[in-house]
Every structure is written in C-alpha cells, then in structure tokens.
Structure 1
Amino acid sequence: MSSTSSTPSWNVQRLPRADGRVFLVTGGNVGIGYFVAEQLSASGATIVLGSRSPARAEAAMASIRARVPGSQVRAIRLDLADLSSLQTAVQALEVDRLDAVVHNAGVALDDPPRQETGDGHELMFGTNHLGHFALTHWLMPLLSAAPAARVVTMGSFAAKSERLDLDDLQSLKDYAPKRTYGRSKLAQMYFGLELDRRLRAVDSGVQSVMVHPGGALDSLTPSRPPIHVRTTGARLSAVPAALLVQGKHAGAWSAVRAVLDPAVRGGQLWGPRIFGLRGEPRCEPVWNHLADSSVAARLWDATRDLTGADLSSLCE
C-alpha cells in the first residue's frame, strides 16, 4: 500500500496498448464510466459496457466509435440492483477470460424518501456495494483465467469523511441521502481492500485496486452529445471551480491508469494528484479509517450473508 508513485512517464494522453484484452466497465454508458470506457477503448482492448439501459448503451457505443476509430466496444444489460440477474449478465459476456472490471456504476440520491431494491436492500447500498460484491462473485472464474486481471473499484471523495455503522448498514434507523451515499462508497472501498488481502493470501494473480475521481463536475466535462451536453453558460460559470476540481473526463484517469499501468499494485489507492481533487493520477496513502481490517472483515461477512455470494471460496 505504498504511497510512492509508479513510473513518472505515465501520460493520460498516450496510453499503453492492450490489444487482445477484455475490460468490463459497469455504468459505462454515462458520466465517469463513459469516459473510462472511451479512454480504455483507445488502448485497443475490447470494452464491454455494463448498462441497465440498452438505448443509453447504444448511444454511448456510437459516441465511442465516432471518437476512437477502430474501437472494439459492445454492451451487456447489467442491473446491479437485481442480484438474481447478475449470473445471466456475466454469461452474456461470452468470453473465456476477463482482464479487468471497473466497478463504476452507482446510484446517488439527493432527497428522501429512502428507497429499496427489488431484493429489499436500501437502494444506494444495495446497488453500489452489494451489487458489485455479488457481480465479482460471478466474474471471479473469468478474472482468474486471465494472466494478471484487476478489479478496480471506483470509490468517492465523499467516503473520506464517512464512517460505517455496521449495525445499520441499510440505513433503516438513520437515513440521510448524502451520508448514505458516502457510506455506500466507503463500503465499496473496504470491499476492494479486503478482496485484495484475501487474494494475496492465496497467491492469486488477480489484484484489487481502489481509485477515486476527486471532484468531478458536469460543468467542467466536455460535451459528448447526446450523453452529455455542456452549454456555453455552464462552461463559463464553472471557470472558477476549475482551480479546485475537474471534469468527469479527468475523473476517469485514475481508473484508466489502475487498469493499464503495469506498475500499479493491488491494495493501492489512486486519485488525482492535486489535493486529491484534480490533476493526473497518483498513488496516495490509504485513508486511515480504510486501513481498519477488522471493519472490512465484518463488512465482508455481513455482505456475504445479505447477498448469498460466497466470494471466499473463489479466492482460493
């Protein structure tokens, strides 16, 4: 978990080739996930977008193909809020190995009331954390079949100030949308670290890496119509914010590096270089509360019980 940056020659505009490899990006049809997929497609790899909406996935694929000539991109229907659908989604990949998955998809609610998935889980925790945990369960045989696969978990700066309530993971007693969102992202990051510990304990070739996008605003994000359209007014009004934060295209850089840079190691946390909010990606110290392996282990056990996915047997 060193904070030392890897090769200083990394350039977000000149990515290494990854021909013949296959990468899955959950939520790859919109937001940061779209830019992760667009940038990874320039490496020559096959990119699979996991999306709840076939129409939005088609729009994203058309945009990527228009901007990256020769890109190899396709989509599968993926609904992380529906745990029973995930095995079928993984089968739809129709590959014999997977070189990386970027756990990016997520739900962020701004207002009450509390909502639940069809499985009865709080919507943000159920989608952002439980869904990705269960998806990893079904993906692990494909990841293990690759020579050096990576599980890249997209956390959030919002998780830095949050702490988990292990007795109220579903926010039944104490629901506040922004806090619940931050805790769902924190749970994802704990999962990523605990997954890496368990993979290393059995000398697995799969590595688990945590990333976060810093401060990523729509108003600083270049247009990709119809996926995202930035008006002139929005662009001008966002100029002062650009001193502190960045657009979603730049928020994607940490995840792209975590997938492609051979110097990245499991258990590391990557985020923007400048105050953790903007700039090119760097390896940063794992946040103090994330380093608590006892919390991560308890969360792992609770998540296994809630999802019925026993990842432990696959990390052997």
Structure 2
Amino acid sequence: MPSTPRDPRWNVHRLPRAGGKNVLVTGGNAGIGYFVAEQLAGTGATVVLGSRNRAKAEDAIASIGARVPGAKVRHVPLDLADHASLKASVDALGLDRLDAVVHNAGVALDHPPRRETTDGHELMFATNHLGHFALTHHLAPLLTATPGSRIVTTGSFAAKTERLDLDDLQSMRDYQPKRAYARSKLAQMLFALELDRRLRAAGSATLSVLVHPGGALDSLTPSRPPVHVRTTGERLRGLPLGLVVQGKDAAAWSAVRAVLDPGVRGGQMWSPRAFGLRGAPRIEPLWNHLADTTTAARLWAAGCELTGIELSFTDRTDTVR
C-alpha cells in the first residue's frame, strides 16, 4: 500500500526499491548532495552526479561503488554559473526520461569582494537560483516525458529570517556575503513553490517539492574517503552538537524522501522533524514569507529576464530569447 506523508512505516534506513528510475543530483559529488546520491544509489536507481569537477565526481562514484555493490552512478559535467553551457549538459545525459532532479548544488562565499559570473550576475544568486532556473527549462522535456516526475529543490534554514530585495537581486548596493547567500536560497525556495503553482495550472503530472536539510555539520558526518574524512577528534567535538543538529548523511533524508515517497505532493516542504534542524523528514508548514505569491511571481519574471528564458511546461516551443 502506498505510503502517506505521515506514514510511520517510512524508514530512512530501509528505502523502497527504485530500480529503473533515473535521478540527476546537482552537486552530487560532495556534502549533502553526495549522501543524497549514495542513498538513492542504494535503492537501485540510476544516479547522475552533476558537477563541474570531474575528478571529485569520480572520487564520489568510487566511494558510492565501494558501499553500494552494483551501484549505477555516473557523472555529467554541469556548471550552474555558466548558463550557456546547460543545454549541452542536459544533452550529455543521454536519457529519454528523467524521474527526478534534485536541485542541491550551491555556492556559499564567506568574505567580500563581490564576485560575478561571465554573464555579469552575482555568483551566489547566479549559481544557486538562476542556474537551477535555467537547468529546469532544459530538463523540462525529459521531465514531462516521465509520468510523476519530481523537481526537488533544496532550500536552507538560513532563508527563514531573510527577505528578498526585488530591486537589488544581484546585491549591487550593499553586498554582505552571508545575507546574499541566504537570499539566493530564499529565491530558490520561492521558485520551487511558484513552479508548483504553474505546474498545477498547466495540468502537469510533474511535482515541484521543496526541502531543507536543517543543521548539517562535517563533524557529525561519517567519513567517506576521499570525499570526506572525519577525524576522531572532530567526531568527539561534534557529539554535543548532535543534540540539536546532525550530519550531512541525515541532512540528505528530506530530499531522498521527496524523490521516493509516493505520498509526497507538490508544493510541500519537507524538513527534519525536530525544530527543522535534525531527525527524520516530515512536512513542515510553509514559513509566512514563502506563501507570498506576489513576490514569487515577480521573482519568476526577473528570472526569465535575467536568463533570457521563458520557462514553461505547457509549450515546449519556448526558446532562449
């Protein structure tokens, strides 16, 4: 019997089989994305790691293969900051269907100066939001060809207290790295919910689901050499924090459930059970500012303008302007 969103039988350690499914995980070579890929590979799904760095992707593939016998994992070059390259990346998938994409990759800068892409966009906004916006456009034919496909977008707890400045999405006036990062993730979260509204209005069977990983620390994350190596000292120092946050392996659970659970619905937000910071995934009520449909629609229009793309799931004759 299909599980429901509150089904107590859902077990993060005993995931349903997903043989025959294809899943793309952006940034699947490291961090939370690596564990999303590892856990999905364990279900029998074919997992594609979208990554700029081939060597790191190969390390991740080797690590997953060592833990998941017979894992079907491969790499496709993907640079979300280079929007002109994304169509070629999607073509390189070589797939005729895509069951899910996990929009996971992200850039977080800690210090000035403000950096721009070759297109002249602020790097974090361009990568974390605009890159996934454009990637969704190019993936749309594969997703619409797959009944019940899912677009899973990873937000951040950092976005909970932020608000967008629609007149300064590129942080031109007052660049503060941590704030720019949080706003780029808020933009992604608003995008996921606006995308779901547009999919529903178009009568599409594709779902857009929002997740956030809670608090995730390297010191609480199990080693996966050479992708990640945790020393004994780091593990011991991180133990007290385990009462309130978790490792990146557990932080992957919300995205994995959003991909696999037949009870998941579009427009939902899944997060760790304990205060949104740690634990098994559950549905979390949308934060008040995430329900702002006016801001989300204006952000969508800005995304179309900045990328030169009219993103639509109804008319696949849409083109890059």
When normalised by structure 1's length, the TM-score is 0.98
Equivalent position of 1:150 in the other structure: 150
Query: How many percent identity over aligned positions?
Result: 72
- Match for 2:225: what amino acid? P
Equivalent position of 2:172 in the other structure: 172
Equivalent position of 1:136 in the other structure: 136
Equivalent position of 1:42 in the other structure: 42
Confirm whether residue 281 of structure 1 aligns to residue 297 of structure 2: no
Equivalent position of 1:202 in the other structure: 202
1:312 offset after TM fit, Å? Answer: 2.7
- Match for 2:137: what amino acid? H
Give the secondary-structure state (helix, strand or coil) at the position aligned to 1:263: coil
Are 1:204 and 1:315, in contact at CA under 8 Å, matched by a contact in 2? no
1:309 offset after TM fit, Å? Answer: 1.4
Q: Which stretches in structure 1 are left out of the alignment for 5+ residues?
A: none
Q: In 2 relative to 1, CA 17–315 (structure 1 residues): closer, same or farther, beyond 3 Å?
A: farther
Give the secondary-structure state (helix, strand or coil) at the position aligned to 2:179: helix
Equivalent position of 1:214 in the other structure: 214
Confirm whether residue 229 of structure 1 aligns to residue 244 of structure 2: no
Equivalent position of 2:64 in the other structure: 64
Are 1:215 and 1:245, in contact at CA under 8 Å, matched by a contact in 2? yes
1:239 offset after TM fit, Å? Answer: 1.0
- Match for 2:38: what amino acid? E
Equivalent position of 2:10 in the other structure: 10
Give the secondary-structure state (helix, strand or coil) at the position aligned to 1:163: coil
Confirm whether residue 305 of structure 1 aligns to residue 300 of structure 2: no
Provide the rounded CA distance (Å) in 1 between the counterparts of 2:279 and 2:290: 23
Q: In 2 relative to 1, CA 15–313 (structure 1 residues): closer, same or farther, beyond 3 Å?
A: closer
- Match for 1:219: what amino acid? S
Q: Deviations over 1:256-309 (max 9, x none)?
A: 000000000000000000010000000010111000000000000001000011
Provide the rounded CA distance (Å) in 1 between the counterparts of 2:292 and 2:280: 28
Q: How many residues align?
A: 313
Q: Deviations over 1:108-160 (max 9, x none)?
A: 00111100111110000000000000000000000000011000000000010
When normalised by structure 2's length, the TM-score is 0.96
1:315 offset after TM fit, Å? Answer: 6.6
Q: Deviations over 1:85-112 (max 9, x none)?
A: 0000000000001000000000000111
Are 2:202 and 2:314, in contact at CA under 8 Å, matched by a contact in 1? no
Provide the rounded CA distance (Å) in 2 between the counterparts of 1:106 and 1:223: 21
Alignment of 1:16-95 (within 5 A): 16-95=16-95
Give the secondary-structure state (helix, strand or coil) at the position aligned to 2:117: coil
1:314 offset after TM fit, Å? Answer: 4.3
Provide the rounded CA distance (Å) in 2 between the counterparts of 1:84 and 1:23: 22
Q: Which stretches in structure 2 are left out of the alignment for 5+ residues?
A: 317-321
What is the alpha-carbon root mean square deviation over aligned residues?
1.0
1:7 offset after TM fit, Å? Answer: 1.6
Give the secondary-structure state (helix, strand or coil) at the position aligned to 1:300: helix
Provide the rounded CA distance (Å) in 1 between the counterparts of 2:226 and 2:202: 45
Equivalent position of 2:191 in the other structure: 191
Give the secondary-structure state (helix, strand or coil) at the position aligned to 2:210: strand
Provide the rounded CA distance (Å) in 1 between the counterparts of 2:172 and 2:217: 30
Are 2:140 and 2:313, in contact at CA under 8 Å, matched by a contact in 1? no
Are 1:36 and 1:255, in contact at CA under 8 Å, matched by a contact in 2? yes
Give the secondary-structure state (helix, strand or coil) at the position aligned to 1:23: strand
Q: In 2 relative to 1, CA 187–108 (structure 1 residues): closer, same or farther, beyond 3 Å?
A: same
